[in-house]
Amino acid sequence: PLVREQRDPLSSMGNDAALAVMSDRPRMLYDYFKQLFAQVTNPAIDSIREEVVMATECYVGPERNILEESEENAHRLRIAHPILSNEEYAAIANLNHRGWRTRVIDMTFESNSGSRGLRAELERMCREATEAIAQGYRMIALSDRRMSSTRAAVSALLAVGTVHHHLVRNHDRTRLGIVVETGEAREVHHHCLLVGYGADAINPYLAFEALWNARRNGYLDDAPHIQDDLDVVKAYKKGVEKGILKVMAKMGISTLQSYKGAQIFEAIGIATEVIDSAFVGTASRVEGVGFEVLATEMQRRHMLGYPTRKTSRLPVLPNPGDIHWRVGGDRHMWDPESISDLQLAVRQDNFDSYQQFANHSNKNNTREANLRGLLDFNFGVNGPPVHLEDVEPEEEIVKRFATGAMSFGSISTEAHEALAIAMNRIGGKSNTGEGGEDSRRYKTQANGDSSRSAIKQVASGRFGVTIDYLTNADELQIKIVQGAKPGEGGELPGDKVDEFIAEIRNSTPGVGLISPPPHHDIYSIEDIAQLIHDLKNSNPSARISVKLGSEIGVGAVAAGVTKARSDHLVIAGDTGGTGASPLTSIKHAGVPWELGLAEAHQTLVTNNLRSRVVLQVDGQLKTGRDVVIATCLGAEEYGFSTAPLIAMGCIMMRKCHLNTCPVGIATQDEVLRKRFTGLPEHVINYFFMVARDVRETLAELGFKSINELVGRVDVLKEKLVSGHWKSQTLSLEKVLTPAVKPKKFLGSYRRHNQDHGIEHALDHKLIELAKPALEEGKRVRTNLPISNSNRVVGGILSHQVIKRVGPSMLPDDTIHFKFDGSAGQSFGAWLAKGITLEVEGDANDYVGKGLSGGRVIVYPPKNVIFKPEEQVIVGNVALYGATSGEAFFRGKAAERFCVRNSGASAVVEGVGDHGCEYMTGGRAVVLGETGRNFAAGMSGGIAYVWDPNSELEAKCNLDLVELESVSKPEDMNELKSLIERHESYTGSTVAEEILTNWSISLNNFVKVMPTDYKRILEQEAAREESLILSTAEV
């Protein structure tokens, strides 16, 4: 796919393969590093839809005094792309122009010389780099072309990092450019690491040769853009560029120049001696392999290419099994034996069979694949064992379990509802995922079962997030990251968006859906505090949760989010599942939850915040042993995703992203869904077996409840694999470090409720004033003052409307409040149908967020002396995730107006950058100027833009939309009606002037129409016409 489709390959079900440092196989050095990502403290970037801010162009070579103006200072080499073709590399390697010369430095070592030979060659490279500066060279090229049967290639990453840091230590790095000629780098992650640790450009010559050979053998015949070897190079460079930009964007970095040398990675299993030499400053919390093991790995991989034993068979490299399980390949957390054992146990409800599954999983899978496999219990630390009957019962333990966030777009409705029914029966919690939920599931079934998910997720796409959805929740989870693809958004292909999914997500069947990488109302800790407050207002009885990804620094973020009054935190490990994700993210982003959980708990305890928040962990939890270890490291609740799916029949085919799941779980195909044989009882049996396993372990350890065990790292001890050539080098000392408890310590688990401060909300007064409407259906009209300290006005009121009256049951404009002043943030958020909020003044950010049928009107005071159409009247991100209703703004909106609007109609008199981004439905009328990148990612709905000077085309992102004139009668009538209502509600003189000269004004409007949406509408119209004709003939 990197060449054929010019993008990173997709996969699914997460990464359950052994960590590189625990693998029996010789792994590449790149596999020991994990990408970092932004969460909460700054936003990620959408590198595709916001390409306008991204750049891979870099200037390389000696940097001089920027304060001194001279021609010499401008002599730098401009490289448009970090990947060099062979010809481009040759031009640089043989450069001899105006003093620019390149010295080629060999990057190989004697294959049988071990770590001593490796280190000697690294020292030689550093010495030659310093000599090159002294001899006047402007560039060096590290090359492994001299590799032979006797000389092995030094890992390009190790060589680059070593030379880069040698030059940095000697204050020489700005005097020399570094390019790399290597046969090792081939994947997006490889190139990211090389650039991240100092390379200016890379020539992956062996990747090119392999791809050229693939073209000659016909493997690329289905790629129309590839006709010759040059096309292969272009396609590879384009695919890698997209991948690199996406990795950069996870951290909110927009230019490669800023990413270069930034070292935004964490090492898992690299010794301090290597870090201090080649990767200075990189976090490596569990120690690991040193130069000796790295040399051995390089030698063993070299032997695969130069085997000493001759054979008549065609030489084929072995399948490492690092994605799919393979015989003789890498150890996986799930293998055929563990899958069959678990399914047998849950179908027979046989605890002996479960123990067989648990023993195999603990001793063979986890033990040889993950960090917690290297831990064991210190029996007796808490005294002698206790009687089993004195331990917290299984019925209480299972209430701490939750299933992961899997949307019914990613899995079938049957599987989604089976999980919900199972969790509701046992008192646990299921999670909707980010796809919304069918409102019929809010009602109890005739047999007493409930398929309502207790946890309603609020993700960046806000799909299906209405006030009805929020009101029918026990917990509202803000999804900051997903363990399998942190820092990224999601994309649901159009062929998976059937009529049912489209109805729930407020979109169009057959039209693809996009989730932004960040929440556009969360760019800082202060912003997430606002969203937590918003959600608490939408459902005061719900617990507010925030889902974070495991990485270095997650402790500080967890502390900030707890101070922002989150009730619940999830730490998601890097092994979590996914319905679809780029392979680079699945394999190389995030770190094991053991590290993130330990850090989060330690930080919260040290800052005396732990008693204010529930801490949950998820990521390949399988057995009671996993749960108990997680408890010792600080968790008190536990999320399971893959294991419940396997209990219902999943066989880990990893075809979720292809819609071809053979057991009917991760598919929307009606034929395949009929193969689903899972039952709620299977999930229930599994969770009670895990609870029994936990209970028995607690008794052995001398604990009577889970709460007693939370954070007790003294109950754990290291049990490294003796003699294992790699994992024996690990140290889990930092994971097992007890948290420092402050004076007046308040507790190691959730004991106190957060103070959300909603008792002082203006809405309580509004609810009292609205009683005639809520209880008798009478109309209510009231004028009130408002200030910017009044936030989320209308939130609690809308919640009460849903509870007392029901969704869409209150007639339009039954409750009408007019305010004078400046409204605070999130004015009219999730406003329910039947409510109108009007402001004479202005409003802050997030106006009409999640609008759910209500009406919002904002206009300046009647006596202002400025022109309203020239001033900003509402802040950023107005109508984010709106699903229905209306909004009329007399003046301009700031950036990201109508982002992810999926059903509301709005009129505004100008917008900032990124207007109508990711819009999937509704109507937007802009009676003024637009900013840059208008309609980026817009796959549905229609925008009408006033464009008398024909400037829109230059400002519009035309990847998914077309620009048309407003010529159809239905479009004319719709546009005119909205403008008339805008004038009526706001007194807009702009609207008045347009309407007065309607026949002329109409020519100045441009209709922004999504291409896919237009195609679907035309197909529907053709079907209807065909039906009419066939009926007439009959």
Q: Domains of the chain by range and CATH? A: 27-65+73-305 (3.20.20.70), 336-729 (3.20.20.70), 783-1021 (2.160.20.60)
Residue with tokens 């690329």: 220
Q: What is the sign, positive or negative, of the torsion defined by CA atoms of 975, 980, 985, 987? A: positive
Q: What is the pLDDT of residue 69?
A: 84
Q: What is the pLDDT of residue 842?
A: 97
- Cα(375)–Cα(868) distance, rounded to whole angstroms? 66
1021: burial class by Cβ within 10 Å (0-12, 13-18, 19+)? exposed
911-954 confidence digits (pLDDT tens): 999 999 999 999 999 999 999 999 999 999 999 999 999 999 99
- The closest of 508, 505, 668 to 1011, measured between CA atoms, is 508
Q: What is the pLDDT of residue 650?
A: 94
SS3 907: strand
Q: What is the pLDDT of residue 221?
A: 92
217-229 confidence digits (pLDDT tens): 999 999 999 999 9
Distance of CA 224 to the CA centre of its chain: 32
- The closest of 128, 119, 135 to 178, measured between CA atoms, is 128
For residues 817-831, give the mean pLDDT: 98
- Cα(777)–Cα(773) distance, rounded to whole angstroms? 4
* Residues 11/586, Cβ–Cβ less than 8 Å: yes
CA distances to 746, 788, 873 from 870, rounded to whole Å, are: 53, 22, 9
105-135 confidence digits (pLDDT tens): 999 999 999 999 999 999 999 999 999 999 9
Q: Which of 323-332, 400-409, 734-743 has the lowest mean pLDDT?
A: 323-332
Q: What is the pLDDT of residue 1026?
A: 84
DSSP state of 361: I
Give percent of the chain with pLDDT exceeding 90.
86
CA distances to 3, 248, 301 from 617, rounded to whole Å, are: 37, 27, 36
- pLDDT over 80 at 490, yes or no: no
- Local confidence band at 489 (pLDDT 50, 70, 90 cut-offs): confident
- Cα(907)–Cα(918) distance, rounded to whole angstroms? 18
For residues 348-369, give the mean pLDDT: 94
Average pLDDT, rounded, for the chain? 94
* Residues 906/851, Cβ–Cβ less than 8 Å: no
- Cα(33)–Cα(36) distance, rounded to whole angstroms? 10
Q: What is the pLDDT of residue 314?
A: 60
- Cα(524)–Cα(510) distance, rounded to whole angstroms? 35
- Cα(951)–Cα(955) distance, rounded to whole angstroms? 7
- pLDDT over 70 at 36, yes or no: yes
- Beta-bridge mates of residue 116: none
Q: What is the pLDDT of residue 830?
A: 98
DSSP 599-622: HHHHHHHHTT-GGGSEEEEESS--
CA distances to 200, 332, 495, 642, 658 from 668, rounded to whole Å, are: 45, 28, 9, 19, 10
- Local confidence band at 1034 (pLDDT 50, 70, 90 cut-offs): low
- Local confidence band at 98 (pLDDT 50, 70, 90 cut-offs): confident
Q: What is the pLDDT of residue 975?
A: 98
- Cα(429)–Cα(420) distance, rounded to whole angstroms? 7
- pLDDT over 70 at 151, yes or no: yes
For residues 991-1019, give the mean pLDDT: 95
- The closest of 18, 694, 716, 27 to 365, measured between CA atoms, is 18
Q: Residue 359: CB partners within 8 Å, gap ≥ 6?
A: none
- pLDDT over 90 at 1, yes or no: no
> Quick check: pTM over 0.85?
yes
Q: Residue 1000: CB partners within 8 Å, gap ≥ 6?
A: none
Amino acid at 772: P
Q: What is the pLDDT of residue 14?
A: 86
Structure tokens at 847: 């106006």
- pLDDT over 80 at 721, yes or no: no
Residue with tokens 């021609």: 71
Residue with tokens 């917990």: 475
For residues 284-289, give the mean pLDDT: 96
Residue with tokens 């001279």: 70
Query: Checking DSSP bridges between strand 568-572 and strand 543-549, what pairing results, if any?
Result: parallel
640-686 confidence digits (pLDDT tens): 999 999 999 999 998 888 889 999 999 988 999 999 999 999 999 99
* Residues 333/575, Cβ–Cβ less than 8 Å: yes
- pLDDT over 80 at 510, yes or no: yes
Q: What is the pLDDT of residue 943?
A: 98
Q: What is the pLDDT of residue 313?
A: 66
Q: What is the sign, positive or negative, of the torsion defined by CA atoms of 731, 732, 736, 740? A: positive
- Local confidence band at 311 (pLDDT 50, 70, 90 cut-offs): low
For residues 1015-1026, give the mean pLDDT: 88
841-862 confidence digits (pLDDT tens): 999 999 999 999 999 999 999 8
Q: What is the pLDDT of residue 1027?
A: 82
Q: Residue 397: CB partners within 8 Å, gap ≥ 6?
A: 691, 694, 695, 706
CA angle 735, 740, 744 (to 5 degrees): 145
- pLDDT over 70 at 25, yes or no: yes
- pLDDT over 90 at 85, yes or no: yes
CA distances to 802, 805, 818, 951, 1014 from 774, rounded to whole Å, are: 10, 7, 18, 48, 41
